[in-house]
Amino acid sequence: MLTAQEFIDLELKATQIRQSVIKMLLAAGSGHSAGPLGMADIFTALYFHILKIDPNNPQKPDRDRLVLSNGHICPVLYATLAHRGFFPVDELSTLRKLGTRLQGHPHRESLPGLETTSGPLGSGLSQASGMALAARMDQASWHTYCLMSDGEHDEGNTWEAVMLAGKYKLHNLTAIMDRNNIQIDGFTEEIMPLENIRAKYEAFGWTVIEINGHNMQEIIDGVERAKVIFEKPTMIIAHTIPGKGVDFMENKFEWHGKPPNAKEAKIALHKLRTLAGKIRSEHE
């Protein structure tokens, strides 16, 4: 159970990361808004409370591995890594610029803390399953996490990995699905219906846990539950709000792949600063 101070610190860090995402996208003039804002709480919980990692030794052999399958939400990954100390926060302003280490989709050899190169949707769970299987063969103790979008479940490669992980009972693999119900062209259930997504994973031999992806305690409890399941891989379905924290972006699929302009960014940052102030005042 989180202490009151830990809860506040994580909530404030997530809001700080959201502000960095807005600033990055404004500076770049391109990129994705909805997904990064929606996943800020989960990234914060992972990198500031859950993962066994060391920013001073990014290649430490016994570190946990995190695979970002839906690489287009990399602004939130970059912002989180920077705030966690993997590289300078000032570098975030170079997102998508010529010669930057912060490419539009993550490139594994560009930045410390990146485990994979991602971009083509549907590939991440296969990569993560391979890592988990290798850890088992090496009798290693580290855990593999795979962050995925719901829309990329339209990709057949995803389901090949679901079958493989179920077959080999990869209990050292935890996948987290951003169930925000949108993709670039609209709502998932209109474009290619996914439900009953829980029953599908369970049919392939996975344990499924559903959480509120904006509740720090639920995120942490969900991951802790997954780590003590020794006979199956686990899928955590995280119900999130795309664009979370910026009301004019929330639940709007149009913000999937669009950055804010200067006016919109100013409003968004004001809303996020106000939210941070509210978090502080509620716990004083």
| Tokens representing residue 93 in the block | 């302003």
Query: pLDDT tens digit string along 256-273?
Result: 999 999 999 999 999 999
Question: Can you give the pLDDT at residue 282?
Answer: 80
CA dist list (Å): 144 to 115, 116, 181: 10, 12, 25
pLDDT of residue 284: 65
pTM, two decimals, is: 0.97
Give the CATH number of domain 4-282: 3.40.50.970
In 3D space, the residue among 277, 74, 167 whose CA is nearest the CA of residue 159 turns out to be: 167
Residue 205 has what pLDDT?
98
Q: By the 8 A CB rule, do 232 and 206 touch?
A: yes
What does the domain layout of the chain look like in residue ranges? 4-282
Give me the residues of the chain with pLDDT under 50, please.
Answer: none
Q: Which residues contact 279 (CB under 8 A, 6 or more apart)?
A: 8, 11, 12, 15
Q: What's the pLDDT score for residue 106?
A: 95
Q: What pLDDT digit, counting tens, does each position of 142-193 carry?
A: 999 999 999 999 999 999 999 999 999 999 999 999 999 999 999 999 999 9
